């Protein structure tokens, strides 16, 4: 490689990194100082409290600290502000980690991205947001990743079902929205869904509609098969379904005067063939299934800027949890998907294996403790049994 080519490559790389922007990043690495950056809503007086902790098990006690829900059966509402941005003509990447260490049964693990004019002290469940993204779990039937966009004043849910993680470990969730109206959802830095905003959400009316002036012709025959007109029912076809049992005999003790006239029981007629139906043949007039012709929808207008939000300036946790214990951490909003992937590897990726090892170690210690308790319990029961036998023996001797 020549010196010139190396220089050009360095300039190109520098240019790429120069265009990367981090709009918001929060890793809770400065203790209680997070309280100066995150504002809890005052819309209701009984919101649950967030606490800063790495939880019961972790990969790094300091790096894995995040905001944890701490009270059961509560709504939570807290947000943090950043300088107002627009994602016009550039990607938007939203990323964060969620850890349901309480083995969550019902509750949200998602974030909301709000316009910059949000009144944080009055933030609540009906506050207008731009994007809602992240896992939501409620019983065995709901274990999904929400991807909801506000478009022209209405919230639109994705038409696809994206399954979230439902274990107790930390997981990385990433949403990429591109200026070509495409998107990508990643979990643990692996793509789980992608596609077109227009195709996977009902933002716009359909491009095509059924022609209101078109009607199926009266003589349109959709029956693929018809009865064979030349097939005739055999003359001996119609016989009774049941007949008197020819092997039955009147009991010797049957009294016609007392019991009435004796009749043999009925049995299935072996000659019975069921209801006769003519054979089916191909319908010579069959034209296939009639398809309603479509026309261009006059109400449809393409929108190349579905992806775009003119104002974003607040990220919020606005959710409900039945059983508390979820930890939110490693928030990132950027315009660079590669940078987000790198940050994900340096944060979640660096601590995920140690976290699992610590959890496994704790479970092994718990197992050993239970086994020891069982052994002690059996030994105590055996000792009590022996003492009881000695007492009975002494009592017998005294007698």
pLDDT tens track for 258-298 = 889 999 999 999 989 899 999 999 999 999 999 999 999 99
Residue for token pair 């509560």: 74
pLDDT recorded at residue 398: 65
φ, ψ dihedrals at 328, nearest 5°: -105, 135
Phi-psi region of 325 (alpha: psi -120 to 50; beta: other; left: phi over 0): left
| Distance in angstroms (rounded) separating the CA atoms of residues 230 and 342 | 77
C-beta atoms surrounding 195 within 10 Å: 16
Of the listed ranges 90-104, 167-181, 332-346, 368-382, the least confidently predicted one is 368-382
Residues whose CB is less than 8 angstroms from the CB of residue 76 and which lie 6 or more positions away in sequence, other chains included? 47, 48, 50, 69, 317, 318, 319, 320, 321
Domain ranges, ordered by start, for the chain: 18-201+306-358
Phi-psi region of 28 (alpha: psi -120 to 50; beta: other; left: phi over 0): left
The rounded Cα 181 to chain-centroid distance in angstroms is: 23
- Write down the H helix ranges in 233-328: 256-259
> Does 65 carry a binding-site annotation?
yes
How confident is the model over 229-255, as pLDDT tens digits? 999 999 889 888 999 999 999 998 888
pLDDT above 70 (res 3) = no
DSSP 35: G
Rounded mean pLDDT of 54-70?
96
Q: Is the dihedral of CA 217, 219, 223, 225 positive or negative?
A: negative
> Does 90 carry a binding-site annotation?
no
C-beta atoms surrounding 312 within 10 Å: 25
3-state SS class at 251: coil
CATH fold of 18-201+306-358 reads: Jelly Rolls (2.60.120)
Decide the pairing of beta strands 326-334 and 92-100: antiparallel
How confident is the model over 352-368, as pLDDT tens digits? 999 999 999 999 999 99
| Distance in angstroms (rounded) separating the CA atoms of residues 172 and 190 | 9
> DSSP letters of 147-205?
EEEEETTEEEE-SS--BPP-SSSEEEEEEEE-TTSEEEEEETTEEEEEEEHHHHS--S-
pLDDT above 80 (res 1) = no
| Distance in angstroms (rounded) separating the CA atoms of residues 278 and 257 | 49
The rounded Cα 168 to chain-centroid distance in angstroms is: 16
DSSP 32: G
| Distance in angstroms (rounded) separating the CA atoms of residues 274 and 382 | 74
Q: Is the dihedral of CA 354, 359, 364, 365 positive or negative?
A: positive
Q: Angle at CA 338, nearest 5°, toward 333 and 340?
A: 30
| Distance in angstroms (rounded) separating the CA atoms of residues 115 and 129 | 6
Question: Max alpha carbon distance in the chain (Å)?
Answer: 125
**130: nearest Cα among 172, 92, 184, 76:** 92
pLDDT above 90 (res 335) = yes
| Distance in angstroms (rounded) separating the CA atoms of residues 211 and 251 | 77
| Residue 40, CB-side half-sphere exposure with 13 Å CA sphere | 14
3-state SS class at 286: coil
Helix, strand, coil percentages in the chain from 3-state DSSP, rounded to 5 = 25, 30, 45
> Does 318 carry a binding-site annotation?
yes
> Does 300 carry a binding-site annotation?
no
**207: nearest Cα among 302, 293, 297, 303:** 297
pLDDT recorded at residue 13: 39
pLDDT above 60 (res 87) = yes
> Does 110 carry a binding-site annotation?
yes
pLDDT recorded at residue 255: 87
How confident is the model over 293-313, as pLDDT tens digits? 999 999 999 999 999 999 999
| Distance in angstroms (rounded) separating the CA atoms of residues 381 and 275 | 75
């Amino acid at each position: 490689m020549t010196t010139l080519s190396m220089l050009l490559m360095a300039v190109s790389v520098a240019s790429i990194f120069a265009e990367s922007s981090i709009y918001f990043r929060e890793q809770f690495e400065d203790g209680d100082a997070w309280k100066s950056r995150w504002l809890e809503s005052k819309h209701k007086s009984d919101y649950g409290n967030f606490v800063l902790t790495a939880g019961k098990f972790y990969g790094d006690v300091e790096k894995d600290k995040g905001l944890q829900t701490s009270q059961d059966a509560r709504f939570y509402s807290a947000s943090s502000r950043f300088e107002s941005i627009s994602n016009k003509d550039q990607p938007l990447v939203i990323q964060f980690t969620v850890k349901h260490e309480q083995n969550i049964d019902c509750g949200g693990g998602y974030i909301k991205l709000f316009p910059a004019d949000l009144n944080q002290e009055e933030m609540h469940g009906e506050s207008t947001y731009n994007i809602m993204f992240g896992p939501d779990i409620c019983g065995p039937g709901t274990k999904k990743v929400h991807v909801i966009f506000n478009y022209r004043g209405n919230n639109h849910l994705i038409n696809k079902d994206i399954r979230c993680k439902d274990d107790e470990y930390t997981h990385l969730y990433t949403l990429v929205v591109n200026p070509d109206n495409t998107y990508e959802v990643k979990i643990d830095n692996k793509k789980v869904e992608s596609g077109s905003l227009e195709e996977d959400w009902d933002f716009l009316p359909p491009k095509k509609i059924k022609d209101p002036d078109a009607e199926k012709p009266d003589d349109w025959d959709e029956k693929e098969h018809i009865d064979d007109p030349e097939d005739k029912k055999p003359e001996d076809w119609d016989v009774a379904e049941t007949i008197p049992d020819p092997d039955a005999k009147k009991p010797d003790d049957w009294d016609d005067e007392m019991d009435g006239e004796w009749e043999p029981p009925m049995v299935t007629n072996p000659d019975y063939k069921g209801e006769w139906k003519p054979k089916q043949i191909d319908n010579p007039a069959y034209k296939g299934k009639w398809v309603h012709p479509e026309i261009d929808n006059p109400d449809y207008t393409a929108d190349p800027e579905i992806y775009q939000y003119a104002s974003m300036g607040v990220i919020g946790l606005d959710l409900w949890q039945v059983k508390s214990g979820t930890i939110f951490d490693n928030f990132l909003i950027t315009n660079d998907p590669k940078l987000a992937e790198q940050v994900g590897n340096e944060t979640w990726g660096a601590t995920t294996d140690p976290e699992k090892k610590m959890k496994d170690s704790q479970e092994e210690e718990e197992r050993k403790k239970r086994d020891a308790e069982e052994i002690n319990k059996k030994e105590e029961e055996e000792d009590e049994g022996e003492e009881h036998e000695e007492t009975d023996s002494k009592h017998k001797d005294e007698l």
